[in-house]
Structure 1
Amino acid sequence: MAVGTEAAPDTTAQRLGIVAHSDGPFVPVQTRSERPKSTLHDDFAAVEAWQTEWKLTPIDRIRDLIDGPLDGSPYPIQYPDVAHTTVEWIDRTDARIGSAGIPEERAAANGWSSFEKALRIAIEGEPESLTVTRAAMGSAARAAHVLVEAAPQSKGLVILDSRGSAALTENVEIVVGEGAHLTVVSLQEWDDDARHLASHFASIGKDGKLTHIVVSLGGSIVRVNPSAHLAGEGSDAELLGVYFADAGQHLEQRVYVHHDAPHTRSRVTYKGALNGEGARTVWVGDVLIGPRAVGTDTYEQNRNLVLSEGTRADSIPNLEIQTGDIVGAGHASATGRFDDEHLFYLQSRGIPEAEARRLVVLGFLIEVVQRIPEPVLQARLVSALVAELEGAA
């Protein structure tokens, strides 16, 4: 009698023998890489407050950005003429669209389904820094798509500077070519009424390095979800963030790093401060070390400084390892108030209490700002943080 051979299970749920719940067909996703992906809004279930991706987000305040119609036409931008860089609008059917990643949730898919043209920013060689400013997005619900490409062996800095009013759902793709070193700064200095949902997808080639820095200071609700796919051997990712939440402000970051090739490295550092009634921050960090990613070296951390009563900081680090052959992996999270010893030390040197507090907070946050390789922008952000701290005094 011939003996049949069953097909090998091809998902984590099948390998673990997980079946549908008795009260419905739902089977939990067992690994971060198996989340559903699609560029179509209707391929995702309706957003509900109990869902893992949305339970910490005030979805009623952004429902129109998740499900409503979005204006996907090109918008006003400003940028200098920098040699060895290209800034252009390309059609949504361009073959380069989708090369870094595609949405894993409904809001990002709504933005993807709605944009008409993508803003392409390309660098070659070693150009000077390039700043692209968006300051006239308007208050109507809008979709946007940005593609940043670093040619193989290139080295550059791209700053995406967002200001003014906005109701924006966008996707940002970042493609780092083989051996390229790219720094991308995403600066959210929106007006107080702005709402902004963004998903960033980065793909890093062999021996490439991406430094990705998120700075969120303005806006009513700002949710930026960066993901980095270390796709080539020896690729490297530094994902950094700094944020300051005022009364009633919601600032959210969900970071995902996927080590998918051998001998890759990543570091994630996000720091934030909260002040005022209803100030809220959310940070979720996911690191997945895939079965091929031998020799991985990774560490993620989130630190929050609470400056007043009535604030809330959620910080959730996650680490998933699918191979035993790694250099190191770890994560850390901490939320707390001032270090009284630092405060006492400064006051004992004759510094008034209010000034001492500002110095302690600025020293806490400045670590990330100093990683931006652009002195003019550094100075501008230090001034913005000082202004925030003046309001916290």
Structure 2
Amino acid sequence: MSLLTPQRPGGGAHTDSVATMVPDQSRAERTASFDVSAFPVPHGREEEWRFTPVDRLGAFFRDEATGASLTWADELPGGVTLSTVSVEEWRALGVPAPQDRAAAVAAAHSGGVALVDVPAEAELTEPVRIRLDGTDQGLVHGHLLVRVGRFAKATVVLEHTGVADYSEMLTVIAGDGSDVTLVTVQEWDDRSHHLAQHDVVVGRDATARHIAVTLGGGVVRLNTNATYRGPGGSFEGLGVYFSDAGQHLEHRLFVDHEAPHCRSNVEYKGALQGDTARTVWIGDVLIRAAAEGTDTYELNRNLLLTEGARADSVPNLEIETGEIEGAGHASATGRFDDEQLFYLMARGIPEPEARRLVVRGFFASVVGRIHVPEVQEHLMLAIERELAAGAA
């Protein structure tokens, strides 16, 4: 099914989605708090948890510290510093609050916040690299802050590997006029579970990109939120995911346009292979009354490679002002295009190779915008390994 919602004239608020209509309910009304007790333990009937297998995630909701940590390795270009600040210092920066119980627990019990600082006007020629590796040490609460100064340009690559139950808070602050790209790679062992809240705070006239690559993990649920601290900001949310049998990969986005003359563009593409493979994509965009001149669009596409796979896709667009440049969304889930396969096979290309080419073409529009060559190459090789494993 496909849906495209153009800009709606007039000033009335509305909420659209592919799978549900919830009149008179604003995304802005959801609870956001640093207090764990503000969030009851979810049971799976709540709107924000109804797609998630909460019965597999009980440890993430316990209001207690574990003291466990992942193995940390980093590569920091010249001028970039790494330090630790307290949760209180992190909150004093005016960062967004947690938006569900798991995030609130992670923020409360992380024991401190790792701060990666990129100085003002720095222009990094190499990415900041952080690798977090799990060794099955129990539940880990992680907390990371990436702060990029005014007019700086930086790319940060964050990799998650190994076996872990990992509850993560991550905040990216893009200073005024900066250009920031965060690439987060989830390549966990299938025994792992990963719940995360990623907040991207876009400064005045800043450009921020959040790129999610999710290829591994038994349950991965990544909430990405974008907010604006001044006019002229631009946010781009890109994602690629590949779910195998037994995997639940869930990506949720909330773009909160509260400042005027800002833009956002979201594009996520996923492939599913194997019985019980499951993906969920939720895209919420809120254009507040003060956000005149907004230009926003979100797109989700899912490719079902086998029977038994299921993809849920729910774009939501809520508009409180008619004085915008444009707003829309689209979503589609389907199987291989038989005409494409026939065209390739009619020219002597074997079916397995033809399928591989179709999948590569499907992901190309997103992968080509990552702009980190080694990540692009690794991603395409990983996708081809997934395809080969499914064909075996």
Fold conserved between structures, TM > 0.5: yes
Cα offset, 1:58, TM superposition: 0.3
- Which of 138, 159, 178 is residue 180 of structure 1 equivalent to? 178
Question: Which of 1 and 2 has higher RCO (CA within 8 Å, sep 6+)?
Answer: 2
Counterpart pick for 2:102 among 107, 117, 129: 107
| Cα-to-partner distance string for 1:211-257 (whole Å, 9 max, x where unaligned) | 10000001100000000002310000000100000000000011000
Matched, 1:126 2:123: yes
Aligned equivalent of 2:236:
238
User: 1:338-377 maps to which residues of 2 (within 5 A)?
Assistant: 338-377=336-375
Deviates more, 1:302-311 or 1:106-115: 106-115
2:259 — aligned with what?
261
CA displacement 1:174-230 (0-9 Å, x = unmatched): 101000000001100011101000011111110001010000001100000000002
Contact 1:123 1:156 in 2 (8 A): yes
Q: 1:355/1:294 Cα in 2 relative to 1: closer, same or farther (>3 Å)?
A: same
Query: Larger radius of gyration, structure 1 or 2?
Result: 1
Q: CA deviation at 1:371?
A: 1.4
| Residue in structure 1 matching 2:272, options 274, 281, 292 | 274
Q: Which runs of 5+ in 1 are unaligned?
A: 1-15, 17-27
Tell me by how many angstroms 1:96 deviates.
Answer: 5.5
Alpha-carbon distance between aligned partners in 2 of 1:107 and 1:80, rounded to the nearest angstrom: 29
Separation in 1, partners of 2:384, 2:267: 21
Write the distance in 1 (CA, Å) between the matches of 2:40 and 2:89.
28
How far 1:367 sits from its partner (Å)? 2.1
Q: Say if 1:40 and 1:112, in contact at 8 Å, map to a contact too.
A: no
Counterparts of 2:320 and 2:379 in 1: how far apart (Å)?
39
Pairing 1:29-108 to 2, within 5 Å after superposition: 30-67=25-62, 69-72=64-67, 75-95=70-90, 99-108=94-103
From the superposition, tell whether residues 75 and 46 of structure 1 become closer, same or farther in structure 2 (CA, over 3 Å): closer
- Which of 365, 369, 386 aligns to 1:388? It is 386
4+ residue segments displaced more than 6 Å: none
Q: Is the 8 A contact 1:70 1:141 kept in 2?
A: no
CA distance in 2, matches of 1:72, 1:112: 13
- Comparing 81-90 with 165-174, greater Cα deviation is found at 81-90
Secondary structure at the residue paired with 1:336? strand
Counterpart of 2:20 in structure 1 is none
Quick one: distance in 2 between partners of 1:165 and 1:328? 43
Equivalent residue number for residue 197 of structure 1: 195
List gaps (5 residues or longer) in structure 2. 1-12, 14-22
Take 1:169 and 1:286, find their aligned partners in 2: how far apart are those partners?
Answer: 22
Question: What is the TM-score with the length of structure 2 in the denominator?
Answer: 0.90
- Check conservation: 1:256, 1:285, Cα contact below 8 A: yes
Per the alignment, residue 283 of structure 2 pairs with 285
Secondary structure in structure 2 of the residue aligned to 1:383 = helix
Amino acid aligned to 1:206 = R
Instruction: Please provide the CA RMSD for this pair.
Output: 1.9
Find the counterpart in structure 1 of residue 19 from structure 2.
none
Q: 1:59 is matched by which residue type in structure 2?
A: V
Q: Distance in 2 between the 1:280 and 1:72 partners?
A: 32
Distance 2:308 2:380 in 1: 25
Quote the Cα distance in structure 1 between the aligned partners of 2:198 and 2:343: 41
Cα offsets for 1:310-331 (capped at 9, x unmatched): 1110000000001110010000
What is the DSSP-based 3-state SS (H/G/I as helix, E as strand, rest coil) of the residue aligned with 1:108?
Answer: helix
CA contact (8 A) 1:158 1:184 kept: yes
Secondary structure (helix, strand or coil) at the match of 2:74 reads coil
Give the direction of change, closer, same or farther, for the CA distance of 1:387–1:256 in structure 2 (3 Å limit).
same
Give the Å deviation of 1:46. Answer: 2.4
